[in-house]
Every structure is written in structure tokens, then in C-alpha cells.
């Protein structure tokens, strides 16, 4: 689950960002909406433990992120968080398989080829394992990045603008893919976006909560 109380953050020289309190049950879906600069990416970074709160507290999967040190925070993040960034950051020099293997190495785990194959198969891209990112379509690259994000079976999946630059059909499929993957793993899903199509896709789903940041 994710819980925040009086959560705040301030960049050097910038205005303080204050966030509404929220509680999201394990397996729920949280949609962060707001215009550029409203704090969506900051909220995700706080939830991932990449930034420390300037005020208040955020608890993710039973861990208060106010009290983590760097080493403990890195280990916790590798075990708990799956992150799908807007820029997918797949290494151009490596194959799809090797891009996922790097995620295992970064988490301090031995390479597990069977788990890599399982993750790629679950996202429907197992036949692309030997290709490099330049040989993938945009949709294929996004599926590979999601396979990397969920490879270690995280408790929380964070997605930053996952429908950016996608047409309506592709955007709907991207949201459905995120939901299905999170549901399969029992993970809490957080999507940050300014795209109103995402809200339309999620509205009415069990466990769905919207959180508006700044002015809508």
C-alpha cells in the first residue's frame, strides 16, 4: 500500500510542493494528474525513494521513506519498485535479454535467464530477446521496458507518462497492459500523466483513485 501524510518537497530556489494525503490499498491503482510542473514526476520520485521528503511522510509497502539511508534505500527500491519511465532508457548496445539481465545485476541478484524469458513471454515479446532496441517498434520497446520494470516482481509499479506520443488505440492498449501486469503480480499501480485518455480508461475500475496535483 501507499500512504502519505502532509507530504511536501522543495527544490532549491523553487516553490514548495505540497501534496494531498492519500491511502492506496495494495493492488489498487492511483492516477496522478496535473499540468507540467505540478509535481507528478516529483511525487513518483518520492514514492520510489529517489528523493527524500522535505516535510511529512510517505509510506510505501510498509516502509517509511523518511528514514531510509542510501544503501538501505537502494536495496529496498530494487526489491519493491518497478519503474517505467517516459524515456525508456534501454541500452542501445545491448540485446533485449541483456537489458533485463542488467536489472538483475543492479539489484544484486544473479542472472536468472528463466525469469527473464518468463517476463518477456508475459509481455508478448519473448521472440525479441536477441534484438537490440533500434530494431524494435515503439510499442515493442515499451513492452520490453515494462518487462524490465516487473522482472523482480515488485510490489509497486510506477509509470511516468506511459501514453505520451501514442495514438488512441495504442494509448488504450498501454493502459490495459499496465493494469493487467499489475493485477497479475498483485502490485499497486501508480500512473502519472496529463493525458485525459488514461483517466477515461481507468474510470470505474475497482481500486482506482485519482489525485489531482496543482490546477487541473
Tell me the residue range of the domain where 26 lies.
Answer: 2-89+154-212
109 falls within a domain: no
Would you state the pLDDT for residue 68?
A: 67
Of 95, 172, 156, residue with least CA distance to 131: 95
- Mind listing the pLDDT tens digit of every residue in the chain (216 residues)? 899 999 999 998 888 999 999 999 999 999 999 888 889 999 999 999 999 899 999 999 998 887 667 777 787 888 899 999 988 999 999 999 999 999 999 888 899 999 999 999 999 999 999 999 999 998 899 999 999 999 999 999 999 999 887 888 888 888 988 999 999 999 999 999 988 899 888 877 778 898 998 754
Indicate whether 172 belongs to any domain. yes
Cα–Cα dist 125/117, whole Å: 9
Q: Is residue 148 assigned to a domain?
A: no
Residue 28 resides in a domain: yes
What pLDDT, on a 0 to 100 scale, did the predictor assign at position 58?
A: 95
Q: What is the pLDDT of residue 172?
A: 87
pLDDT value at residue 216:
41
Has residue 25 been placed in a domain? yes
Contact 11, 5 (CB under 8 A): no
Domain assignment of residue 139, yes or no = no
Q: Quick one: pLDDT at residue 67? A: 63
Q: What is the CATH number of the domain that holds 83?
A: 3.40.50.300
Please, are residues 201 and 163 in contact by the beta-carbon 8 Å criterion?
A: no
pTM beyond cutoff 0.75: yes
User: How many domains are contained in the chain?
Assistant: 1
- What DSSP string describes 137-194? -HHHHHHHHHHHHHTT--SEEEEESTTTT--HHHHHHHHHHHHHHHHHHT-EEEEEES
Q: Please indicate, yes or no, if residue 128 is contained in any of the structural domains.
A: no
> Distance (Å, rounded) from C-alpha 19 to C-alpha 16?
10
Amino acid at each position: 500500500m501507499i500512504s502519505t501524510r502532509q507530504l511536501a518537497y522543495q527544490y532549491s530556489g523553487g516553490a514548495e510542493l505540497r501534496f494531498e494525503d492519500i491511502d492506496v490499498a495494495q493492488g489498487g491503482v492511483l492516477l496522478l494528474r496535473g499540468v507540467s510542473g505540478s509535481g507528478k514526476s516529483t511525487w513518483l520520485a518520492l514514492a520510489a525513494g529517489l528523493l527524500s521528503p522535505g516535510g511529512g511522510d510517505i509510506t510505501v509497502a510498509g516502509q517509511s521513506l523518511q528514514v531510509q539511508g542510501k544503501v538501505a534505500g537502494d536495496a529496498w527500491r530494487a526489491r519493491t519498485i518497478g519503474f517505467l519511465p517516459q524515456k525508456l532508457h534501454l541500452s542501445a548496445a545491448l540485446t533485449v535479454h541483456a537489458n533485463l539481465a542488467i536489472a538483475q545485476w543492479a539489484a544484486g541478484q544473479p542472472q536468472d535467464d528463466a525469469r527473464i524469458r518468463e517476463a518477456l513471454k508475459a509481455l508478448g515479446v519473448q521472440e525479441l530477446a536477441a534484438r537490440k532496441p533500434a530494431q524494435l517498434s515503439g510499442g515493442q520497446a515499451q513492452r520490453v521496458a515494462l518487462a524490465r520494470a516487473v522482472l523482480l516482481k515488485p510490489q509497486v509499479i510506477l509509470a511516468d507518462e506511459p501514453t505520451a506520443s501514442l495514438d488512441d488505440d495504442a494509448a488504450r492498449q498501454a493502459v490495459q497492459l499496465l493494469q493487467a501486469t499489475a493485477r497479475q503480480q498483485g502490485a499497486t499501480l501508480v500512473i502519472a500523466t496529463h493525458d485525459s485518455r488514461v483517466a477515461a480508461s481507468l474510470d470505474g475500475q475497482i481500486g482506482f483513485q485519482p489525485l489531482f496535483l496543482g490546477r487541473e
